Amino acid sequence: MNYTYIVECADGTYYCGWTNNLEKRISDHNAGKGAKYTKPRLPVKLVYYEEFETKEAAMSREWHIKQLPRAEKEKLFK
């Protein structure tokens, strides 16, 4: 399974990404091994995810979510 996810960083910002192992990816982010964006903003907490059959579908959804304004992203999980 592939996932598109959103984490909330300690500074209140959001990061969106995709992975094929959600639990490990969140753990990696919190260990400082995730994206450059999240490293100085630890810890992160998972606030939203979607499941996809293919990597391509997850990557496409990630791109679309990243185009949304903050308020639209928040509508997904608040």
Q: Which domain holds residue 34?
A: 2-77
What pLDDT is stored for residue 34 in this prediction? 86
In tens digits, what is the pLDDT along the chain, a chain of 78 residues?
Answer: 999 999 999 999 999 999 999 999 999 999 999 899 999 999 999 999 999 999 999 999 999 999 999 999 999 998
Place of tokens 């907490």: 45
| Domain count of the fold of the chain | 1
26: amino acid identity, one letter: I
Q: Please give the angle made by the CA atoms of 60, 62 and 63, to the nearest 5 degrees.
A: 65
Rounded-to-integer distance, Cα 3 and Cα 8, Å: 16
Neighbours of 4 (CB within 10 A): 24
pTM value is 0.95
CATH number at residue 27: 3.40.1440.10
